[in-house]
């Protein structure tokens, strides 16, 4: 036990080496087109240091969710190796699962069930759920400033922001060593977004867990992350602390912004891409 604890301190929380993932995208509709191959991750290598918050920054479709799903044992990579606290995500998936949890863009809940029933279900799957769970859940919800009475109402009656907070509460309660957050603030109103960001900062301040957070929001990456990995079309284009990246890509002695960095390495603007996607949907 002790050996493993020491092990974990020395080891990176996440190690990825040459991870590649392709999808067969079949043509839909009446006129079936032959399936085309989509390269979602292209030899991605990265490390996440224990206790840090690492941001994966990329436009829509750049492969952020795919990367997170590989670590969450929800997708099997085609090539490469990835490990979480030294456990291989393919061969030792069960051990990986005990150490992780994930918060996704859409709060995935049984919509007719209450937050309490949803959280209790999650607690049971992660080895708790007995006496005292209710008190712990209430304590976490208080901290997230969710009114107590929301705890027993059907999930579908909660606002998007409230649902996302419950999702975060759910993941906290299972005490993951690695928390995977896939665009946790996307689609939230500005106020909920701030609150969720504050929460991530609390995790960071308390060094409660290692966090891998994906986002397409530059300001968010800058504000929350110790390190940033820039992902585009499935490839890692740059990585480092936001400060280092800005210094590295400085022009004429003027430090660059993270936006400049993104523009320089990917040749496109992040914001435009996002607006396009929102207009399209």
Closest CA relative to residue 179, chosen from 66, 47, 72: 72
Q: Is 154 in the site for other proteins (CB under 8 A)?
A: yes
Residue 165 sits at φ, ψ, to 5 deg, of -65, -40
Q: Is 216 in the site for other proteins (CB under 8 A)?
A: no
Q: Is 38 in the site for ligand ADP (CB under 6 A)?
A: yes
| Tokens found for residue 110 | 């049984």
- For ligand ADP, the closer of residues 25 and 219 by Cβ is 25
Closest CA relative to residue 137, chosen from 123, 155, 126, 154: 123
Q: Is 97 in the site for other proteins (CB under 8 A)?
A: yes
Q: Which of 55, 57, 58, 70 binds ligand ADP (CB under 6 A)?
A: 58
Rg of the Cα atoms in the chain: 19
Distance in Å, CB of 141 to ligand ADP, minimum: 28
Binding flags for other proteins, 4-43, as an x/- string (CB under 8 A): -----------------x-xx-------------------
Span 54-93, contacts to Mg ion by CB under 5 A: 65
Q: Which stretch binds ligand ADP (CB under 6 A): 28-36, 56-64, 126-134, 171-179?
A: 56-64
Instruction: Report the interface residues with Mg ion, using CB under 5 A.
Output: 65
Instruction: Report the interface residues with ligand ADP, using CB under 6 A.
Output: 23, 25, 38, 40, 58, 60-66
């Amino acid at each position: 036990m002790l050996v493993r604890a020491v092990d974990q301190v020395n080891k990176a929380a996440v190690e990825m080496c040459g991870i590649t993932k392709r999808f067969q995208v079949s043509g839909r509709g009446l006129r079936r087109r032959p399936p085309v191959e989509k390269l979602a991750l292209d030899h991605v290598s990265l490390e996440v240091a224990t206790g840090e918050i690492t941001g994966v920054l990329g436009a829509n479709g750049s492969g952020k969710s795919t990367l997170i799903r590989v670590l969450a044992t929800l997708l099997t990579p085609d090539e490469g190796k990835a490990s979480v606290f030294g456990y291989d995500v393919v061969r030792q998936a069960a051990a990986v699962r005990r150490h992780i949890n994930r918060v996704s863009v859409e709060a995935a809940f049984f919509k007719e069930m209450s937050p309490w029933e949803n959280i209790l279900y999650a607690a049971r799957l992660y080895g708790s759920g007995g006496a005292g769970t209710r008190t712990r859940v209430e304590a976490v919800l208080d901290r997230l400033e969710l009114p107590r009475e929301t705890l027993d109402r059907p999930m579908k009656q909660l606002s998007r922001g409230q649902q996302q907070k419950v999702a975060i509460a759910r993941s906290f309660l299972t005490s993951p060593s690695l928390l995977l957050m896939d665009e946790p603030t996307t689609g939230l109103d500005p106020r909920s977004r701030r609150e969720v960001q504050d929460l991530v900062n609390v995790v960071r301040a308390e060094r409660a867990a290692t966090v891998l957070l994906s986002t397409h929001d530059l300001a968010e990456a800058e504000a929350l992350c110790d390190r940033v990995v820039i992902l585009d079309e499935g490839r890692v284009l740059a990585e480092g602390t936001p400060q280092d990246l800005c210094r590295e890509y400085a022009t004429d002695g003027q430090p660059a912004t993270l936006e400049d960095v993104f523009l320089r390495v990917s040749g496109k603007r992040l914001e435009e891409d996002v607006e396009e996607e929102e207009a399209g949907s």
